[in-house]
Amino acid sequence: MTDRRRRLLAWLGRRPALQAWALIAPAGLWLLLFFLVPILLMTGYSVMPRGTYGGVESGFTLEHYARFFDPLYLAILGRTVVVALLCTVLCLLLGYPVAWVIARSRRWRNLLMFLVVLPFWTSFLVRTFAMIFLLRDTGLINTMLLSLGLIEAPLTLLYTPFAVLAGMVYSFLPFMILPIYASLEKLDPSLLEAASVLGARPAARFRRVVLPLSMPGVVAGCLLVFIPALGSFLPSDLLGGAKQMLIGNLIQNQFAAARHWPFGSAASTVVMAGVLAGVLLYLRTRDRPAPAMPG
Amino acid sequence: MTGRLPRWLGAIVALVYLFLHLPLLVLMVFSFNASRFSVEWTGFTLEWYRQLLERPDILAGLRVSLVVGAISTVVATALGTLLALALARGRFRGRGALESLLYVPLVTPEIVAGISLLVLFAGLKIALGLTTIVIAHVAFSVSFVTVVVLARLAGMDRSQEEAALILGADEWTTFFRVTLPQLLPGVVSGALLAFTLSFDDYVITSFVAGSGTSTLPVVVYGMVRRNIDPTINAISTLVLVFTTLLIWLADRAGRERFAQ
Amino acid sequence: MTPAVEFRRVSKTFGVTRAVNDLSLTIARGEFFSLLGPSGCGKTTTLRLLAGFEAPDPGGAILIDGADVTMMRPYQRNLSMVFQSYALFPHLSVERNVAFGLEQRKLPRAGIIPRVRQALELVRLDPDTFSRRMPSQLSGGQRQRVALARALVLEPAILLLDEPLGATDLKLRKEMQLELKALNRRLGITFVYVTHDQEEALTMSDRIAVMDDARVAQLGTPAEIYENPRTAFVAGFIGASNFVEGRTGGRADGRWTVRRPDGLLFRVPDQPGLHDGMTVRVAVRPEWMDLFRPDQVPPEGNAISGSVREVIYLGETMHVIVDIAEGESLTVALRNEGQLIKPLPWQAGDRVAVGWLPEDCQVLEDH
């Protein structure tokens, strides 16, 4: 047995490409069949006419994409993009300082990092519910404000754009912090000392040394927040109510109550196209050479 | 980096950490609140936890989640580790295409992943249930496992495997005596991550579970939607504590070195 | 006598790059053989081909002790190797590391332990102190020794070494060079050694293959390589060299006269392949040149006149740079007999004649 095994391995050993593909095959096939093919199928559905029960029947039509020019759906698209952008900006403003502090600290670095990573991995659903618990009319914030006499009637915090945004920032913040931390960590402290010796004050040091060098991390973080935010579903579903419909909710709706699979597929394809555009943009910015000196 | 931390910077960071963790801590504290509906504290109780044991839907959901988690973790870890080995050590063409296939699932919105799988299963007339959930969970976990194991492999000195080969060990023996022992912490870390992802997933599962099968998140979602169930805090706390433990273990495993 | 190693027309291509080009050479049993060259010359690839980590392009063959091993995997060849990064297994103790190869051969535990002890003693590591330690608890030099012990415990016929002293500091390196040479002599193992350090190769080797751009530029003993370099590359890579050019014009007494563009004549020894009217490039080592006052040049030797540009203090030697023509200079290395008690009589600006004997010239094969 061992001898046969040895001969097989020796034969394989001389064919490194075959070896590699043998290792790749299981995962590769799985991803091909259960990730790539479904998405292609979904794109195919998006150009087929709707069948009687909400599925598809044979044919080719672009009517589902044409529907997006309807003001109702344009509004949803627009709202999704705006909310995703706002979420990205907020995450950047809140996340950069955190990344900076973690990168600076030596003693507490592991703990601080763990406390950022932890929410990243715990249940999205539970965290969204925690927001509900705080924000609803009978929730903690309202109850506290009422009992302190600061307000007379409960504030409507839930089912507002504010709640959706808060929920999204809450979920996506770690995605912004981690890449920025990664690029700040690589920053050589002697660069700041050199800048200091050359006469730069803290604000200038940040603007002219730290910020430019952390740009790759900032760009990565922004894309890592913006792209998934486009397809976001749970925050708007649980915290926004019917009025704050984003594309993610529209898609879910088409596959549940509205029973319109082709239209839902079309909306999904649009989101996917946005995601791929974002990824390509990211890959482009990574390869771009450094900008030349002005003047 | 020079100088002390400016006050305002420290304040912002403290607020962010508070924002990240306070809601969850509040949730956990109030799971012991005797009051059924209001947020006022009326006393400490374990009643809601006890009630969980009487809820067949929650128990069934838990069972399904654990089974799905276990199976999908084993499969995803095996697939992902092999893939990572190929990417780290392999010499082949088509690497770029493979890496795209590997990394796109990481950025694909769950809603798209979920409905595309639903479309596939419907088109192939595959009944929705435990199997389809497992298939879906493996599909989105593989990439995570691969990334974690790949990071671990990248840190390994490649010439160790060559040293083993020239000392007389064939490829099979080299993998088990040299590569795997050093890879194991990364593999364990990846497995724990995959399990957590599977255990916590709602969106994708909601599309491929069908009406007959429910995982724990699906059950919890229903409870959150209806918004009146007092045991939500209790089950949420348990889920939080459980996944925190797993993540902590994964973090410890990922950092293991071979010191004495 | 069958050579220990033989390469027959071995080539290795990676994509579009030729790393090794039509290499043929033999290595004798017990020899300390070095592959020397700059990075990218193909020396490491050649070693890896011998080890079996790469397969040669079709058409080439590698033989060990007369047997064709071209198709064999590394674990089927009877070789040992010391890696540049030492490649110790971090999850195994020193003892288990050294025992690894013996365990692969399915030797009983009772037989393994004494051999491991012996191997550690051979590399001067006390087994009682070091056996249980983990690689992370060792210094660089200790790890090196464990790597060596792990390779030697298998009593191989051939030992491959891939720049093992690259990461070592200077003093320790000199020590290790002598130890390795001593091991080679004592154990009778064939050493195949890869290095980019020409001094190291000259110190330790019985023969050196100087490699450049995927080929062997010259193969010979240290003396042959150093004193009779065949190409400008070898002359420049091994030690320092001065180069002079000219056209051949007439032979007498076994010496050719060479005429420089500026009319100056000098003589070089006869070599096969030389004929009248050829352009030749001649290499002369700085230490074989001497400086004279322009009117005191000895008649039998060659001489070129010029002016001193710079005198450089190097401790053991003094280097005098002499400008002999527009853009052309020669470096003369003179022994330093103590500048404080017997200083050199030469200073920048002095007019001098650089002289050397015809036998010390090397006519190069490329021009």
Domain ranges of chain A: 70-287
Is residue A78 less than 8 Å (CB to CB) from chain B? Answer: no
Which of these, A192, A133, A179, A194, lies nearest to A158 by C-alpha position?
A: A133
What lies within 8 Å, CB to CB, of C365 at 6+ separation is C230, C231, C273
Neighbours of A205 (CB within 10 A): 21
pLDDT at residue A294 is higher than 70: no
Minimal C-alpha gap between A54 and chain B (Å): 12
Is residue B180 less than 8 Å (CB to CB) from chain A? Answer: no
Q: What is the mean pLDDT of residues B143-160?
A: 87
Minimal C-alpha gap between A177 and chain C (Å): 33
Whether C209 and C96 map to the same domain: the answer is yes
pLDDT at residue A287 is higher than 80: no
Is residue A255 less than 8 Å (CB to CB) from chain B? Answer: yes
Cα–Cα distance measured from residue B234 to residue B42, given in angstroms and rounded to the nearest whole number? 16
Residue in B159, B257, B258 closest to C87 by CB: B159
Which of these, B109, C290, C1, lies nearest to A276 by C-alpha position?
A: B109
Q: What is the mean pLDDT of residues B45-56?
A: 86
Residues of B in contact with A121 (CB under 8 A): 193, 196-197, 200, 243, 247
DSSP state of B37: S
Whether C30 and C97 map to the same domain: the answer is yes
Whether C226 and C251 map to the same domain: the answer is no
Residue in A35, A189, A196 closest to B139 by CB: A35
Interface test with B, best of A3, A8, A12, A23 (most B CBs within 10 A): A23
- Chain A residue closest in CA terms to B92: A17
What lies within 8 Å, CB to CB, of C141 at 6+ separation is C168, C172
Whether C319 and C287 map to the same domain: the answer is yes
Query: What totals of helices (H) and strands (E) does chain C contain, helices first?
Result: 9, 20
The count of domains in chain B is 1
pLDDT at residue B70 is higher than 70: yes
ipTM of the complex, rounded to two decimals? 0.84
Which domain does C305 fall in, by range? 240-363
pLDDT in tens, C299-320: 888 888 899 999 999 988 999 9
Point out the domain boundary residue: C183, C218, C236: C236
- Chain A residue closest in CA terms to C54: A14
Confidence of residue B249 (pLDDT cuts 50, 70, 90): confident
**pLDDT at A295 (0 to 100):** 42
Which domain does B86 fall in, by range? 43-254
pLDDT at residue C8 is higher than 90: yes
pLDDT in tens, C228-272: 898 889 988 988 889 888 888 888 888 888 888 888 888 888 888
Q: What is the mean pLDDT of residues B227-256?
A: 82
Whether C251 and C231 map to the same domain: the answer is no
Minimal C-alpha gap between C100 and chain B (Å): 7
Residue in B160, B168, B177 closest to C87 by CB: B160
The count of domains in chain C is 2
Whether C130 and C19 map to the same domain: the answer is yes
Whether C89 and C198 map to the same domain: the answer is yes
Number of C-alpha atoms within 13 angstroms, CB side, residue C55? 14
Per-residue tokens: B214: 């429910």
pLDDT in tens, B17-37: 998 888 888 888 888 887 776
Residue B82 within a domain: yes
Residue B8 within a domain: no
Cα–Cα distance measured from residue A294 to residue A179, given in angstroms and rounded to the nearest whole number? 28
pLDDT at residue A266 is higher than 60: yes
Neighbours of B178 (CB within 10 A): 24
Residues of A in contact with B225 (CB under 8 A): 238
Residues of C in contact with A13 (CB under 8 A): 73
Residues of C in contact with B258 (CB under 8 A): 90-91, 134-136
Residue in C51, C75, C105 closest to B170 by CB: C75
Residues of C in contact with A10 (CB under 8 A): 72-73, 76
Interface test with A, best of C48, C53, C62, C73 (most A CBs within 10 A): C73
Chains in touch with A (3+ beta-carbon pairs under 8 Å) read: B, C
Confidence of residue B258 (pLDDT cuts 50, 70, 90): very low
Which of C300-327 are b and which e, b meaning 16 or more Cβ less than 10 Å from the residue's Cβ?
Answer: ebbbbebebeebeeeeeebbbbbebeee
Confidence of residue B259 (pLDDT cuts 50, 70, 90): very low
CB pair distance less than 8 Å for C72 and A13: no
Is residue C76 less than 8 Å (CB to CB) from chain A? Answer: yes
Residue in C74, C89, C150 closest to B165 by CB: C74
How are strands ordered across the β-sheet holding C279-284? Answer: C265-269, C255-259, C242-252, C279-284, C362-363
Is residue C55 less than 8 Å (CB to CB) from chain A? Answer: yes
Confidence of residue B256 (pLDDT cuts 50, 70, 90): low
What lies within 8 Å, CB to CB, of C35 at 6+ separation is C43, C46, C47, C192, C193, C194, C195, C209, C211
pLDDT at residue A260 is higher than 80: yes
CB pair distance less than 8 Å for B107 and A279: yes
pLDDT at residue A290 is higher than 60: no
Of A233-247, C182-196, C346-360, the range with the lowest mean pLDDT is A233-247
Of A281-295, C170-184, C311-325, the range with the lowest mean pLDDT is A281-295
Chains in touch with C (3+ beta-carbon pairs under 8 Å) read: A, B
Whether C120 and C200 map to the same domain: the answer is yes
The share of chain C scoring above pLDDT 70, in percent, equals 99
Confidence of residue C367 (pLDDT cuts 50, 70, 90): low
- Confirm if B142 and A28 have CB atoms less than 8 A apart: no
Q: What is the mean pLDDT of residues C150-158?
A: 92
Confidence of residue A138 (pLDDT cuts 50, 70, 90): confident
Cα–Cα distance measured from residue A119 to residue A177, given in angstroms and rounded to the nearest whole number? 12
CATH number for B75: 1.10.3720.10
Chains in touch with B (3+ beta-carbon pairs under 8 Å) read: A, C
Point out the domain boundary residue: C220, C236, C252: C236
Residues of C in contact with B170 (CB under 8 A): 73, 75
- Confirm if B234 and B52 have CB atoms less than 8 A apart: yes
H or E segment to which residue C215 belongs: strand C215-220
**pLDDT at B1 (0 to 100):** 44
Which of these, A105, A132, A131, lies nearest to A119 by C-alpha position?
A: A131
B 104-133 residues with CB below 8 A of A?
A: 104-105, 107-113, 115-120, 122-123
Residue B153 within a domain: yes
- Chain A residue closest in CA terms to C73: A10
Point out the domain boundary residue: C201, C216, C236: C236
**Residue C5: strand pairing partners:** C27, C64
Which of these, A34, C242, A125, lies nearest to B75 by C-alpha position?
A: A34
Residues of A in contact with B5 (CB under 8 A): 101, 104
Q: At what angle do helices A261-287 and A211-230 cross, to 10 degrees?
A: 170
Whether C221 and C252 map to the same domain: the answer is no
Backbone conformation region of residue A91, classed left if phi is above 0, alpha if psi is from -120 to 50, else beta: alpha
Average pLDDT of chain A, as a whole number: 85
- Chain A residue closest in CA terms to C74: A10
**pLDDT at B2 (0 to 100):** 47
DSSP for C91-141, written as a single string: TS-HHHHHHHHHHHTT--HHHHHHHHHHHHHHTT--HHHHTT--GGGS-HH
Whether C27 and C76 map to the same domain: the answer is yes
B 43-72 residues with CB below 8 A of A?
A: none
Looking at domain A70-287, its CATH architecture is Orthogonal Bundle (1.10)
pLDDT at residue A180 is higher than 70: yes
pLDDT at residue C146 is higher than 90: yes
Angstrom distances, CA of residue B26 to CA of A32, A120, B15, B252, C91 = 43, 18, 15, 27, 44
Confidence of residue A55 (pLDDT cuts 50, 70, 90): confident
Minimal C-alpha gap between A169 and chain B (Å): 10
Cα–Cα distance measured from residue C193 to residue A80, given in angstroms and rounded to the nearest whole number? 65
Per-residue tokens: C309: 């540009």
Q: What is the mean pLDDT of residues B149-160?
A: 86
Cα–Cα distance measured from residue B99 to residue B256, given in angstroms and rounded to the nearest whole number? 27
Average pLDDT of chain C, as a whole number: 90
Which residues of chain B are at the C interface, by a Cβ-Cβ cutoff of 8 Å?
Answer: 157, 159-160, 162-170, 173, 177-178, 181-182, 257-260
Residues of B in contact with A141 (CB under 8 A): none
pLDDT in tens, A216-246: 889 888 988 998 888 888 888 888 877 778 9
What lies within 8 Å, CB to CB, of A211 at 6+ separation is none
Write down the residue that tokens 């095959």 correspond to: A25
Residues of A in contact with B91 (CB under 8 A): 16-17, 20
Whether C147 and C162 map to the same domain: the answer is yes
H or E segment to which residue C206 belongs: none
Whether C96 and C154 map to the same domain: the answer is yes
Residues of B in contact with C85 (CB under 8 A): 157, 159
